[in-house]
Amino acid sequence: MSFGSRARVAMQAYGPACVGIDPHAALLEQWGLPDSVEGLDRFASTCVEAFAGHVAFVKPQSAFFERFGARGVVVLERTIEDLRHTGSLVVLDVKRGDIGSTAQAYADAYLDDDAPMAADAVTVSPYLGFGSLTPFFEVAEKNDAGVFVLALTSNPEGPEVQHALRPPAAGGPADETVAGGILRQLAELNAGASPMGAYGAVVGATIGEADEDLAINGPLLVPGLGAQGGTADDIRRLFGGVIDNVIASTSRGVLAAGPDVQALRDSAARVNAELVGS
């Protein structure tokens, strides 16, 4: 099954929520864990127990594992391995973006099914040019994996790049923004896919207004729900026509319920209920 098909199945089974695994120092302390590899390991394993097979998407943030060096990366590899094939899909949040053979190496590292850190999908940055992402799309297609491309992010610095007009030589409409060009090219990649394509966009829940065409026939990863200020009502307002493709991501809003496993599951369930309006 393609990633688009698997994503649709997971959303129908568990709801549209994506729960992040973000073991930053403050959360480790809140859970009564040391800010060490041992604390990281206990945090991650608790998240796996709580969320695997209970939510549609789990999104480990690679940076919070990498800060512990090689031993932290080992924990990340084990976390991904423990999550995969449980019914929950792993979106590895690495936001990689490079060119040529380096981009190819990143794609192989995260999306080739035989790689130690293979995930179901990965986040990438298009700001070396959309064409620089071709290795990610090619490896994803071979492995039935997904790619989420940063388009309209929720950070306040984003608009200076994402709202800028693309140069005429780049192609597309004369008044097309950088974000609009990213969304248009994703729609072209996803054209004809059913139930939706494998190539998604990252669009923040806190962007205020969605002036671009979000109908890319692919999944929309929407961070910012919960602690960052985004609400289920914001998501319904921003994504009304494409709401069925929205994967709403929250981390601290759910993780604050830990370290009790059932409390974490209940918190994720409440998020799903809010998103579907039940």
* Total residues found in the chain within this entry: 278
Question: Annotated catalytic, 142?
Answer: no
Query: Cβ(111)–Cβ(143) under 8 Å?
Result: yes
What phi and psi values does residue 238 have, to the nearest 5 degrees?
-75, -35
| CA 85/CA 35 separation, integer angstroms | 29
- The catalytic position among 78, 95, 163, 252 is 95
Question: What separation in angstroms does the CA of 124 have from each of 29, 238, 249?
Answer: 30, 23, 16
Distance CA 169, CA 99 (A): 20
Q: Give me the sign of the Cα torsion angle 193, 125, 91, 260.
A: negative
Whether residue 219 is preceded by a cis peptide bond, meaning omega within 30 degrees of 0, is no
Characterize the bridge pairing of strands 220-222 and 121-124. unpaired
Known catalytic residues are 95
